């Protein structure tokens, strides 16, 4: 079963990386690939800032604590699973045919791959935004999905790395939102309208 899943993962990788890869799209997906870093956090904070400085500070506190917990967990998982990135997994094939795998961005390809940290962070922060600002949910999830997809496109992760990262990120975003609601929303005094309902 594990062998079948690995083969499926490899097939999906080549379908995306070399099958869909086009030089004119490389800059687009190269930029999307960086969204799993701090760029996507600034996008989220800009969206949350619309509710005022006090609310933004509350979100910032919760997200800072959540990220401080989330990052070591993701690193521990990478160490535990110790799965190679495509550059190492296909090293012999790449040596024979350097064009067999497309590497669009310059990154450290020697680090462990599973789960994808960029995908996890993108889904973590975007799922939190989707829960906090419901009108933005479709755009947030789409942006997270594109960021995760781009990690395969640029050649630094396998699809299952990104899928696992996405699931971890969704769980982390949901837990962070529950923490926000428990700490801040329930502590907020009821408005005059709510008192008479």
Q: Tell whether the model's pLDDT for residue 145 goes beyond 90.
A: yes
- Whether residue 89 is contained in a domain is answered as yes
C-alpha to C-alpha distances, 89 to 10, 86, 112, nearest whole angstrom: 10, 5, 11
Token pair for 13: 């990788």
Q: If we measure between CA atoms, which residue out of 139, 129, 134, 112 comes closest to residue 174? A: 129
C-alpha to C-alpha distances, 118 to 71, 168, 170, nearest whole angstrom: 11, 11, 13
Rounded to 5°, the CA angle 26-28-133 comes to 150
DSSP classification of residue 49:
G
- pLDDT at 160 (0 to 100): 92
Token pair for 73: 């967990």
Q: Work out the number of other CB atoms within 10 angstroms of the CB of residue 48.
A: 21
CA 79 to chain centroid, in Å, comes to: 18
CB 149 within 8 A of CB 131: no
- Whether residue 75 is contained in a domain is answered as yes
Mean pLDDT of 117-121: 88
Domain span holding position 116: 46-190
Q: Provide the whole-model pTM.
A: 0.82
Mean pLDDT of 151-168: 91
Mean pLDDT of 132-160: 90
Mean pLDDT of 170-184: 91
CB 180 within 8 A of CB 62: yes
**Lowest pLDDT segment from 47-56, 158-167, 172-181, 184-193:** 184-193
User: What proportion of the chain, given as a percentage, has pLDDT over 90?
Assistant: 21
- Whether residue 10 is contained in a domain is answered as no
Q: Tell whether the model's pLDDT for residue 94 goes beyond 90.
A: no
* Tally of domains within the chain: 1
Token pair for 6: 């690995």
pLDDT, tens only, 17-59 = 888 878 888 888 887 887 766 778 888 888 888 878 888 888 8
């Amino acid at each position: 079963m594990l062998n079948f899943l690995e083969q499926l993962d490899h097939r999906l990788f080549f379908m995306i990386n070399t099958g869909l890869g086009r030089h004119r799209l490389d800059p687009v997906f190269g930029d999307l690939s960086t969204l799993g870093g701090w760029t996507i956090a600034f996008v989220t904070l800009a969206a949350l800032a619309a509710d005022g400085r006090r609310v933004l500070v509350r979100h910032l506190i919760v997200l800072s604590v959540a990220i401080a917990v989330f990052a070591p967990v993701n690193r521990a998982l990478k160490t535990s699973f110790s799965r190679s990135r495509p550059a190492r997994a296909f090293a012999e094939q790449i040596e024979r045919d350097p064009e067999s795998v497309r590497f669009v961005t310059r990154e450290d390809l020697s680090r462990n791959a599973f789960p994808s940290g960029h995908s996890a962070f993108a889904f973590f922060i975007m799922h939190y935004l989707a829960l906090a600002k419901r009108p933005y949910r479709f755009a947030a999830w789409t942006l997270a999905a594109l960021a995760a997809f781009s990690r395969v496109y640029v050649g630094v992760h396998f699809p299952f790395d990104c899928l696992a990262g996405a699931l971890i990120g969704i769980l982390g975003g949901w837990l962070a939102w529950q923490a926000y609601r428990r700490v801040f929303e329930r502590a907020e005094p009821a408005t005059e309208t709510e008192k008479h309902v």
